[in-house]
Amino acid sequence: MTESVVTDHTKQETISADQNRVELCEKNPAEDFLRMDRIPHIWCPGCGIGTSVNAFVRALIEAKVDRSKLCVVSGIGCSGRVSGYLNVDAFHTTHGRAIPFATGLKLANPELTVVVYSGDGDLSAIGGNHLVHAARRNIDIKVVCVNNFIYSMTGGQAAPTTPMGTIASTAPYGFCEYALNLPHFVEACGATYIARWTTFHVRQLQKSMQESFAKKGFTFIEVIAPCPTLYGRRNQYRQGVDEMKMFKEVSRREKDIETRDAEIKPGEKIVIGKFVDRERETWLESMQHHYKEVLGDAYYPYTGAMI
């Protein structure tokens, strides 16, 4: 080895006042929440999924989420592998079914914080119907949707989120369909909290995740992420960092922006920010309300199947 890396393992006294951070000097803050025996992970160099996990873990730490009451559910895809790398109760379900699985978890044990962490294809294509109805019912789950514009795991086929005109393995001459505007879609369905960030906006992403943990109801955070291997390389972004630079350049955060303006078109701005933050009764609350009203004292309120 010709070079030495500057590390500073010894300066234990040099850390911030926060007790949580004392170890951080020697250990990456993310490590506590990761299954380190599985690291390095399978994601390609420059893949944005890892960056989003970084923000997620930091949000868990900052928001002091009780790990014993946390469940992360993923579907199938590169993004779906997130659950396997987290050192929390995690479930890797079948393709598109993360939301119904999470719905069951949440309703059986309403004390849990249930996070669905999956890809755009998994959540909006094969799992699209579940997304509609979980948002409509306002099931209290926190959805993180990694949008890399493509079905990555299976070879870069066009997805509902592939921007019109871009190249995919199933669209070598450019994709001819309108892309699904995810924030607009879930707003129409009834989500209570909706934000979109790119992996360049890690701090804002982390903050949104923290907000969503504190929010009651169906929350949806879209994370635009680079997939250099199957999207970037076909679309002029040879490396992940090239796509990150593009995010930095074209992302716009405007005041009072509406989700209907958030459609993604290549070469145009990417609208980012928090779009929706509203209150609605969750499904469980509205069920309890309703039966209390209809049945009066005969109704024994359901508070979970766990004893």
Ligand X SMILES: Cc1ncc(C[n+]2csc(CCOP(=O)(O)OP(=O)(O)O)c2C)c(N)n1
Give the residue with the Cβ less far from ligand SF4, 44 or 270. 44
Considering only the stretches 5-13, 135-143, 223-231, 261-269, report the one whose residues sit in contact with ligand SF4 under the rule CB under 6 A.
223-231
Structure tokens at 182: 């995810």
CB of 78 to ligand SF4, least distance (A): 3
The set of residues, in sequence order, having a beta carbon less than 8 Å from that of 303 and lying 6+ positions away, is 110
Does 13 bind other proteins (CB under 8 A)? Our answer is yes
Judge if the upstream peptide bond of residue 40 is cis by omega within 30 degrees of 0.
Answer: yes
Cα–Cα distance, 60 to 90 (Å, whole number) = 14
Q: Is 267 exposed, middle or buried (0-12, 13-18, 19+ CB in 10 A)?
A: exposed
DSSP state of 229: T
| d(C-alpha 122, C-alpha 49), whole Å | 14
Closest CB 180 distance from ligand SF4, rounded Å: 18
Footprint of ligand SF4 on 138-167 (CB under 6 A): 148, 152
* Separation CA 127–CA 200 (nearest Å): 27
- Pick from 58, 95, 196, 201 the residue near ligand X by CB under 6 A: 95
Among 52, 74, 152, 259, binds ligand X (CB under 6 A): 152
Residue 229: name its binding partner from other proteins, ligand X, ligand SF4, none (Cβ under 5 to 8 Å by kind). Answer: ligand SF4
**C-alpha angle 189-206-202 in degrees, rounded to nearest 5:** 105
> What residue 59 binds from ligand SF4, other proteins, ligand X, none (CB within 5 to 8 A, per partner kind)?
none
Among 48, 120, 138, 264, binds ligand X (CB under 6 A): 120
State the binding partner of 151 from ligand X, ligand SF4, other proteins, none, CB within 5 to 8 A by kind.
Answer: ligand X
Rounded Cα–Cα distance for residues 69 and 63 (Å): 13
**What six digits make up the tokens of 264?**
């993604």
Rule CB under 8 A: is residue 49 a binding residue for other proteins?
yes
Identity of the residue, 41 or 136, whose beta carbon is nearer to other proteins in the bound complex: 41
> End-to-end alpha-carbon separation of the chain, Å?
58
Residues of this chain that bind ligand X (CB under 6 A): 76-79, 95, 119-122, 146, 148, 150-154, 159
